[in-house]
Amino acid sequence: MDYVFSFLKSSVTIMIPLLFAATGGLFPALAGTLNIALEGLLLIGAFSSLTVFYFTGSVTAAIACAVIAATALAALHSFATFKLRANIFICGLAVNLFSSGICIVLSDKIFKTRGVVSANNVPGLLTWYLIIGLFLIIISHLIIYKTPFGYRLRACDKNSNSLVSLGIKPQNYQTKAILISGFFCGIGGSFLSLNLGAFVPGMSAGKGWIALAVIFLGAKKPLGVLAAAFIFALAESFSNYAQGFWNIPSGFILAFPYICTLIVLIIVSIPRSEQR
């Protein structure tokens, strides 16, 4: 029983940053502007929250700072994309590279180290993050499917001409969608560092990219994203536990979550291809 509880706790821990990043990335995906900068937004959120907690000891201030930092970076991303007309994918890659570099530079200036930065007395926050994540999933579902903002957001992708005919600029909603993704990634990034009690360079470790897969695996729906994030988390947690039990090459075991994701994506895409 203890083993099952430990396994589920590990799965939930893995799921939470994926859930926040994927939920945030869902909004621009529905608006037709896939945000590939989720990785960098998570990382800047992680560094900001740990830094503020290190000096203040306040979890609330740490999370708030993470949200502000990630949203500000998302605003910069959207400004370059929509106002300066840069390619959104090149801009997203630039954000990811910028986050990785600026965190190391700031760590060197503030903490005099380019390695791990630790903080003491970080309280256990897993339950609270899970509750907040589930609450925001429900709120996201209501916003997307039950509000004028949600209708217009989804129209940006396939019916943008109808919005223009009504005097509505799709770009405004796409900008808001990217800012929302920054808000969610800030919270998800804060969990990465506060849950660990430390900031590790590159600690987002591909979670932003995995979140993109989770969005499509969940059929671009909030509840689908929740299910997909949990499935991937189960697969990754299983691979972590399996390394100590089976005589299988570790490379294959570590690749198991990605193999599962790829298989499920193929299965999900089959009905869609037949409809075409």
Given a contact cutoff of 8 angstroms between Cβ atoms, the answer to whether 177 and 31 are in contact is yes
Cα–Cα distance for residue pair 137/141, rounded to 1 Å: 6
Both structure tokens of 224:
């689908």
Q: State the residue range of the domain holding 190.
A: 2-117+124-275
Q: How many CA atoms lie within 13 A of 110 on its CB side?
A: 18
- Cβ–Cβ under 8 Å, residues 98 and 80: no
What's the pLDDT score for residue 43? 96
Give the predicted TM-score (pTM) of the model.
Answer: 0.90
Domain total of the chain = 1
State the Cα–Cα distance between residues 123 and 77, nearest whole angstrom.
Answer: 33
pLDDT value of residue 243: 62
CATH code, domain with 151: 1.10.3470
pLDDT for residue 194: 94
Give pLDDT, residue 4. 76
Residue 249: what pLDDT? 63
Instruction: Give the separation between CA 98 and CA 224, rounded to whole angstroms.
Output: 31
Q: Which amino acid is at 198?
A: A
**In which residue ranges of the chain is pLDDT below 50?**
none
Amino acid (one-letter) located at 59: V
